[in-house]
A and B are shown apart, each in its own frame.
Chain A
Amino acid sequence: MNRKPDYLAHAVLLLGVVIFIFPLWVAFAGATQSAAAINRGDISLIPRLAGLKIFITAFGFGNAAKGGVPVWHMLLVSLGMALVIAIGKIVISALSAFAIAFFRFPFRMIAFWLIFITLMLPVEVRIIPTYAVMSDFHLINSFTGLTMPLIASATATLLFRQVFLAIPDELVEAAKLDGAGPMRFFFDILLPVSAPNLAALFVILFVYGWNQYLWPLLVATNGKLDPIVLGIVQMITTDQIPQWNLVMAATILAIIPPVLVVVAMQRWFIGGLTEVDK
């Protein structure tokens, strides 16, 4: 349609890109500068090449206020948390959505509504009573305590249910004619068919798990279970002068994994997400 470039579109989109990238760029450039320069208020927008090794140093950087657990350890906790939450949610939700969509069993609708109405509550809302229950079960300060309550979520169940309901009946009948039992149908047909949705969900849930802050703040009390997001916030909320260059380097490191997941799975992400989420 347009022969000449659409200058307006490029201008608006470029502006959007700059608004997103600028803060990150300042963080990146800041990381490469000396802590002393930053504390004087001299933050240059041009990264210091000699300062790039800070990104290596930062892996070993620990917050003394939290017992000095290093950044690499916090990154691992985050990774473990994000994976357990994403995979746990997908498995649990896919199974229950399968049961609800493909079977008629007593109290089916009650089960469905129970899951629906209760699990839509973000952890932020039920935080205090959940904490109390977790401490009754002695799950405070444990990896189980860190991840289990976050695996509870109706969103994924609802998404799977909607995807499963859209599967044509013919497909199910064909499988039945082939003599496939329900579980074989689930693994051989249902899961492959909903692969894009699965991928999209994985992205959402990985990011969700990686970005948790409030729950770990309560549950992880001795530093060894601190995920990176919590660790970084605590690096700046002390009554010591923050080592800004290291904190910014750690921030960049903390952003990379979820961004990689989003960008790498971008195609499925947009498709699968919008298909199921509406």
Chain B
Amino acid sequence: MERRTLFAGWMLPAVLVAPQLAITVLFFLLPAWRAFGESVRATDAFGLNSSFVGLANFAELFQSSTYQAALVRTFVFCIAVTCLAMGFGLLLASFANRAIRGARVYRILLIWPYAIAPAIASVIFVFLLQPQIGLLTNLFGRLGLDFNYATHADQAFLLVIVIAAWKQVSYNFIFYLAGLQSVPRSVIEAATLDGARGFYRFRTMIFPLLAPTTFFLIIVNIVYAAFDTFALIFALTAGGPGTATETLVVKVYRDGILNLDIGGSAAQSIILMVIIIGLTTIQFRYTGKRAG
């Protein structure tokens, strides 16, 4: 889509885009270029020795069972978080959109978690589930469940999924609510009848109307789960126990910053860049088409 009416001149627009471009070059192009350069070299931490190794860093990654495992793990994690967060977001939105008393209050009480930082969400859940003192740990213990995310791999993985989803529900809630509000009232009313028949109608009549929102949210949620959850995972388990919660972003941080593996982490950065450029291109193509 393009405008017909325009302003003349090119000096002014050049000045206007300059800051944005400068920041782009400085904080994206330059780092991306460096990452690319490092990814095909073997370099020691201090940068004293460096030699061209071609695609060896990439080959090593794809042969490494830990990297493959992290790739699969990240995939499962993204799917689980996306399904949970979107499912609950849609459920809450469809009820909050009903003509009930206090709808406004509910709305506020359901969107505020959007403001919580992933890292802070982790800290709060650590307090709840701390293996020795946690309120819920004690409760689980009384129910005969030995809950300790520091030693139980499956529990740890489940926990990071739950916290990541918990924090993201309100985002999906906001968008589904807005999506529902643009659905004609009559359709909604026809579908709000209780019981199985009501759900059937919801599925066949309303949900298709929410398809654009759903598609948009799938991409956003996947990106969130893949990248924005670093702090959440790192604060809670730092990737453990074992490597049970080590996603790709956690791994790139560990290999680059803690393990000082310059070439390997650069190769990982490049792979992540490719993944996310792919995702956003899909999203932009789709939403771009809609806008046009």
Q: Report if A24-B280 is in contact (Cβ < 8 Å); known contacts: A125-B249, A126-B273.
A: no
Q: Is B61 an interface residue (CB 8 A)?
A: no
| A16 contacts B20, C-beta separation under 8 Å | no
Question: Is the CB of B119 closer than 8 A to any CB of chain A?
Answer: yes
Instruction: Judge whether A103 and B128 touch: CB under 8 Å.
Output: no
Q: Does B140 contact A (CB under 8 A)?
A: no
Q: How far is the CB of A230 from chain B (nearest CB, A)?
A: 8
Q: Is the CB of A1 within 8 A of B99?
A: yes
B169: chain A residues at CB < 8 Å are 16, 20
Contact A213 B231 (CB under 8 A): yes
With a cutoff of 8 Å between Cβ atoms, the chain B residues found around residue A197 in the complex are: none
Q: A214 at interface (Cβ–Cβ under 8 A)?
A: yes
A127 touches B256 (CB 8 A): yes
Encoded as 1 (CB less than 8 Å from any B CB) or 0, chain A from 1 to 24 comes to 110011011101100110111011
- Could you say which interface size class chain B belongs to? 35 or more
On chain A, the residues within 8 Å of B266 by CB distance are: 128-129
B277 CB, min distance to chain A CBs, angstroms: 6
Interface size on A, residues (CB 8 A): 106
Which of B24-32, B52-60, B72-80 forms contacts with chain A? B24-32
B204 CB–A CB distance under 8 Å = no
In contact, B133 and A39 (Cβ under 8 angstroms): yes
Determine, out of B3-11, B143-151, B153-161, the stretch whose residues face the partner at the interface: B3-11
* B101→A115 contact, CB < 8 A: no
Give the interface of A toward B (CB within 8 A).
Answer: 1-2, 5-6, 8-10, 12-13, 16-17, 19-21, 23-24, 26-27, 30, 38-41, 43, 45, 92-93, 95-96, 98-106, 108, 111, 114-122, 124-133, 148-149, 151-152, 157-158, 162, 165, 169, 172-173, 176, 182-183, 185, 207, 210-214, 218, 229-230, 232-233, 236-237, 244, 247-248, 251, 254-255, 258-259, 261-263, 266, 269-271, 273-274, 277-278
Using a CB–CB distance below 8 Å, which chain B residues touch chain A? 1-7, 9-10, 12-14, 16-17, 19-21, 23-24, 26-32, 34-35, 38, 88, 91-92, 95-96, 98-101, 106-120, 122-128, 132-135, 138, 166, 169-170, 174-175, 177-179, 189, 192, 194, 212-213, 216, 223, 227-228, 230-231, 234-235, 249, 252-253, 256-257, 265-266, 269, 272-273, 276-277, 280-281, 284, 287, 290-291
